[in-house]
Structure 1
Amino acid sequence: MARTRKSVLVLASGSPRRLALLEQIGIVPDHISPADVDETPLKKERPNTYALRLAREKAEVAFDRARATLNPRETYVLAADTVVAVGRRILPKAESYDVAEACLKALSGRNHKVYTAVVVIARGKMRERLVETRVAMKRLSDREIADYLTSGEWDGKAGGYAIQGRAAAFVSHVVGSYSGVVGLPLYETQQLLTGTGFSREAETIAATAPGEAVS
């Protein structure tokens, strides 16, 4: 007797930006499961390695939580982490006015890189992609920095700015994934999900005898 199996997507992030980006391509997570991990960089850790490590850890935390109540054969966990870097220097997520100000001054008049790592855990496997985007920011005046800080838009943002907001006026050009800078590279995310068999259409499968494995 056949039965149906529907993909269940768990987003391991509480970011409204990542949720909005997924919805932009027609994907609405079934569960939101923010994964808190220690985001302290390791000694001499490179920005790209750091982004991948945090995305993996977030995915693992969310998957361990999800499998307690969801069928692991139908569950897809999606996690991501975005890191802004000037050279090998990892800029923090701005949690205070002073930190945001320091980030903006470090970025002013310079090119920097934004790394976003995407990880999907599904059917016993972890798959990942790392997307690197180069961003050029104009030299900012003291007034521009002060006005941006007053807006509060920097709060919780990697590198102290949000390219999809007022800071768009500071960016002269982007080479790479714009959505990756926002927080989730959509092309790579869609490719990862598709490659793992994720589908919003119910999948009809043959029933198995007790103890028989399902592929």
Structure 2
Amino acid sequence: MKPIIIATNNLGKFDQVVNLLTALKVMTNQFLNLADLNLVNDKEETGTMLDRAKQKALNCLERLGQENLSQYLCLVANDTGTRLPSLNIETEESKKIASQILSGKLLKPGDQICYVYTYAFILLPSQKILTTQVEIPFTYLGNPQKLTLAEGQNTMSQVKAIPGQNIPHSQIPNEVEINYRLQFLRDKLTPIVSEINSSVIPIFS
């Protein structure tokens, strides 16, 4: 069974993608991140969210080397942007806007935060690229604890909630979190997972 490479060193993002693909019944139970492969993505991505996701995936592909591609099922990279409907703001700079939100400069409790998730898949060894993008809404709860961004931590998950709830996103059960995302992602990702699965060669005993 060939593994899927998820082009990130962020364990939160890694687990999120693994959970989504597993829920959609991708035909592997092996997933690797950049650290598992001793790879470092030190190139800065530019352009739109779609551009950035593609660049992350292609940078990983370049570091793998052509001779190694047949060992893997595919690789996937994602990029996240932020849209604030109340302020008519949309940006690819999610970390920068998150810092401003946490500082209390932009939103008040109850305002909507929309995250735009972009995924780029490269099927291997064919190197066919498949992409998709979807927007998922959340509600800002406020930041009474004066939390700030910390490297490797998803601080924003502690100050946002699924619309209609007041439980921080970081505290909801994993199954609830994945099912909420799948409400928006299932139709987008299912055709891609089907194409990934169609490339799996069945093993007959």
TM more than 0.5: yes
1:85–1:112: 8 Å Cα contact kept in structure 2? Answer: yes
Residues 132 and 22 (structure 1 numbering): CA distance in 2 closer, same or farther, change over 3 Å?
closer
TM-score of the superposition, structure 2-length normalised? 0.63
Residues 135 and 203 (structure 1 numbering): CA distance in 2 closer, same or farther, change over 3 Å?
same
Cross-structure match for 2:202: 203
Cross-structure match for 1:47: none
1:80–1:119: 8 Å Cα contact kept in structure 2? Answer: yes
TM-score of the superposition, structure 1-length normalised? 0.61
Cross-structure match for 2:115: 114
1:57 aligns to 2:55 (yes or no): yes
Separation (CA, whole Å) in 1 of partners of 2:159 and 2:137? 15
Letter in 1 for 2:82: V
Separation (CA, whole Å) in 2 of partners of 1:72 and 1:130? 27
Letter in 2 for 1:29: F
1:116–1:180: 8 Å Cα contact kept in structure 2? Answer: no
Cross-structure match for 1:162: 156
Residues 67 and 115 (structure 1 numbering): CA distance in 2 closer, same or farther, change over 3 Å?
same
Separation (CA, whole Å) in 2 of partners of 1:38 and 1:74? 25
After superposition, give the CA deviation of every residue in 1:137-175 in whole Å (9 maximum; x if it has no partner): 24x3xxx34x141xx5x32489x8432xx324x66448x
Displacement over 6 Å in runs of 4+: none
Unmatched 5+ stretches in structure 1:
1-5, 43-49, 206-215
Percent of aligned positions that are identical: 13
Cross-structure match for 1:38: 44
Q: Determine which structure has the larger strand proportion and give its number.
A: 1
1:17 aligns to 2:5 (yes or no): no
Unmatched 5+ stretches in structure 2:
24-28, 166-175
2:81–2:90: 8 Å Cα contact kept in structure 1? Answer: no
Q: How many residues were matched structurally? A: 172
Greater radius of gyration (CA)? 1
Give the root-mean-square deviation of aligned CA atoms: 3.8
Separation (CA, whole Å) in 2 of partners of 1:14 and 1:189? 22
1:52–1:81: 8 Å Cα contact kept in structure 2? Answer: yes
After superposition, give the CA deviation of every residue in 1:14-52 in whole Å (9 maximum; x if it has no partner): 111122224433743145355343245x5xxxxxxx221
Letter in 1 for 2:3: V
**Which structure ranks higher in relative contact order (CA pairs < 8 Å, sequence separation ≥ 6)?**
1
Cross-structure match for 2:77: 79
Separation (CA, whole Å) in 2 of partners of 1:127 and 1:29? 18
Separation (CA, whole Å) in 2 of partners of 1:113 and 1:157? 21
Separation (CA, whole Å) in 2 of partners of 1:167 and 1:132? 18
After superposition, give the CA deviation of every residue in 1:88-112 in whole Å (9 maximum; x if it has no partner): 33273447xxx75522321334223
Separation (CA, whole Å) in 1 of partners of 2:99 and 2:69? 46
